[in-house]
Chains A and B, each alone.
Chain A
Amino acid sequence: MHIGTGLVCGTKIKDMVKAGFHFIIFLADWHSMINNKFGGDMEKIETAGEYFKHCFTALGLAEDKVEYIWASELAGKPNYWERVIRIAKTITAQRAMRALPIMGRDMKAQDVEAASLFYPCMQAADIFEMNLDVACAGIDQRKAHVLAREAGEKLRWGKPVALHTPMLMGLAGIQGSDQGSYDDDPKLSSVIAAKMSKSKPENTILLHDSPELIEEKLRKAYCPPKIIEGNPVIEYYRVLAFRENETVILRREQKYGGDLTFSSFKEFEEAYKTEKIHPQDLKANMAGILADVLRGVRDYFNKHPEPLEQMRKIEAR
């Protein structure tokens, strides 16, 4: 699991639990099959789902804090498929296709498995089947959520609130990603493209990476001086460091000017724009922050190595 899923989703889920929510982490095995994860091999998909459960447990979201539900549990209920069909009847096939960011806007209906059309309808059905007040996801899911809200209104099942978080880009930034078109909104399209770029292992930090590996990956990260927009390292400060802390201290050797303390992201951004922070210091400090935050996860997997071994097995080609 990469740090985007682990930290951005993980912290948001913890916020919601603290605010009194009954929170469900939904392991979408059927959806993964539709999306041809592991070539649609359900056994491997279940292994990956168990691994996800371990990752969230390692992050402090064990079964006593959140409820885990598999999509196949819902799919086994007789009324579930009626819901899917009722939702599908409220929209056109074109609308269903457009709610799938994976398609890319350039893709044509003849390139797509018909099973894909079930995907957004199932996403909506899941929300109603689990009787949810709030549906959370990365911003790339907004179309699926808007679809669920509209269908819910038409069918008089209520309208779920949709809560969207930012997407973390891969370490190569937007430059490093393909420039395919995934959304009508060019900004959202490039964000999704940058998310896609995380499929390259050197481009993404995993929850259980060692501090040395985190440092190495960050050292190679795209991080142009003075530039904020599209700079993944700056993005990690904004989304990860300044979110949790009132102040962020940037450690520097005395000969390079000593430590710097920032009490807001704005202040930090200004300092970077005016070259008061060197990219190298920025990277080294982020490596330290991540290694610290992820210590608990590493300890967990040191004690429970099996899920990682299982994953290694099914990912071997």
Chain B
Amino acid sequence: MMNQEERLELVTRGTVEIIQPAELERVLAEKKKPRAYWGFECSGKQLCQNGCLD
């Protein structure tokens, strides 16, 4: 089982911004299985992802 620090490091690595880091720490401290998402527009293979969602 990972400790809090390891979880935080894993979640934040390679990111450019967290709003807000202290809130993320609180989520990790309070919840074993917090909920997260990433939204994707269903676009083409070639088409660009015009800026909305990803």
Contact = CB atoms under 8 A, between A and B. Distances in A.
A285 interface: no
A164 to B, nearest CB: 4
B51 A52 contact: no
A138 B10 contact: no
A5 B42 CA distance: 12
Contact of B39 (A26, A139, A161, A196): A26
A185 B14 CA distance: 21
A130 interface: yes
Contacts of A16: 10-11, 36
A27 B10 contact: no
Contacts of A18: 2, 10
A8 to B, nearest CB: 8
A28 B11 contact: no
B13 A137 contact: no
Contact of B18 (A8, A162, A199): A162
A139 B16 contact: yes
A142 B46 contact: no
Given A25-B37, A100-B51, A166-B16, A19 B42 contact: no
Given A19-B2, A137-B53, A164-B16, A131 B40 contact: no
Interface class of chain A by DSSP: helix
Contacts of A149: 19
A311 interface: yes
Contacts of A213: none
Contact of B27 (A100, A134, A311): A134
Contacts of A100: 51-52
Nearest to B37: A24
Interface class of chain B by DSSP: loop
Nearest to A126: B39
A26 B24 contact: no
Given A22-B33, A28-B40, A133-B35, A163 B52 contact: no
Interface residues of A, number: 79
B42 to A, nearest CB: 4
A19 B14 contact: no
A161 B40 contact: no
Contacts of A123: 39, 53
B36 A196 contact: no
Contact of B42 (A49, A136, A239): A49
A12, A100, A192, A201: residue with the most chain B Cβ atoms closer than 10 Å: A12
A196 B42 contact: no
A132 interface: yes
A195 B36 CA distance: 24
Given A19-B10, A37-B41, A136 B52 contact: no
Contacts of A23: 35-38
3 closest pairs, A vs B, by CB? A199-B48, A101-B51, A49-B42
Given A37-B42, A132-B35, A192-B51, 11 more contacts: A1-B45, A16-B10, A22-B33, A24-B38, A25-B37, A31-B41, A35-B52, A123-B53, A139-B17, A162-B18, A164-B17
16 contacts: A19-B10, A23-B37, A25-B40, A27-B40, A27-B42, A29-B42, A102-B52, A133-B35, A159-B23, A162-B19, A163-B12, A164-B17, A199-B47, A243-B14, A315-B45, A315-B46
Interface of B: 2, 6-7, 10-20, 23-24, 27-28, 31-54
